[in-house]
C-alpha cells in the first residue's frame, strides 16, 4: 500500500488509541486527542501517568484496553516507540502511526523495522490534523506546503 492508502485505512477505523497523550489540556497531543473525538472517533488515551484524559478513562498500556482498538497513534519520544510497538504486537494491533511534525517525532528506526517484520502496517510521520475532514486553514496550509515540497504522501 502507498502511504496515503495506509493513512486512509488508519483513519477509516473508528476505535483508536493515542499513546502519549498528555494530561495537560494545552498540550498539542491533547488538542489532537480532542480533534479525534470531535471527528467521531472512539479515541482511547494511553498514558501510564494518568487515570483519565479529557474525562475519558486512560490506560497504562495498549494491552490493557478493552475492548481492543483497531489502530494506535504514537505521540511518544522515539525511545519509547520501540516498546509501544511490541505492546501493539502483543495486543494484536496491526495499524500503527508514528506521529511527526518536526524532528523525529515518535519515529524510531528499530520500531519501524519491528512493525515491518511483524505484519504491522506503519505510517512513518505526518500529522493526522492534515488529513481530517474539515481541517483548519493552518493544517490545510501545512498540506499545501508539503505538496509544493514534494513530501506530501501519495
112-135: per-residue pLDDT in tens? 999 999 999 999 999 998 888 887
Percent of the chain topping pLDDT 70? 97
CA distances from 7 to 51, 56, 62, 79, 125 (A): 29, 25, 20, 23, 10
Identify the residue with better confidence: 148 or 15: 15
Respond yes or no on whether the N-terminal peptide bond of residue 42 is cis (omega within 30° of 0): no
- pTM equals 0.92
Region 27-56 average pLDDT: 95
Least confident interval from 9-13, 58-62, 104-108, 142-146: 142-146
User: In the prediction, which pLDDT does 51 show?
Assistant: 93
Closest CA to 20 of 54, 61, 57, 56: 61
The architecture of the domain spanning 3-149 is 3-Layer(aba) Sandwich (3.40)
More confident residue, 66 or 154: 66
Which residue ranges make up each domain of the chain? 3-149
3-state secondary structure of 38: helix
Confidence of residue 140 (pLDDT cuts 50, 70, 90): confident
Amino acid at each position: 500500500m502507498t502511504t496515503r492508502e495506509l493513512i486512509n485505512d488508519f483513519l477509516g477505523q473508528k476505535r483508536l488509541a493515542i499513546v502519549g497523550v498528555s494530561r495537560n489540556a494545552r498540550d498539542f497531543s491533547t488538542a489532537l486527542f480532542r480533534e479525534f473525538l470531535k471527528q467521531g472517533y472512539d479515541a482511547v488515551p494511553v498514558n501510564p501517568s494518568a487515570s483519565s484524559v479529557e474525562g475519558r478513562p486512560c490506560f497504562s498500556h495498549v494491552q490493557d484496553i478493552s475492548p481492543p482498538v483497531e489502530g494506535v497513534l504514537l505521540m511518544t519520544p522515539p525511545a519509547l516507540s520501540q516498546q509501544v510497538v511490541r505492546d501493539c504486537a502483543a495486543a494484536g494491533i496491526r495499524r500503527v502511526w508514528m506521529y511527526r511534525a518536526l524532528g523525529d517525532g515518535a519515529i524510531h528506526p528499530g520500531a519501524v523495522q519491528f512493525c515491518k517484520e511483524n505484519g504491522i502496517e506503519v505510517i512513518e510521520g505526518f500529522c493526522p490534523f492534515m488529513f481530517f475532514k474539515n481541517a483548519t486553514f493552518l493544517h490545510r496550509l501545512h498540506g499545501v506546503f508539503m505538496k509544493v515540497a514534494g513530501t506530501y504522501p501519495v
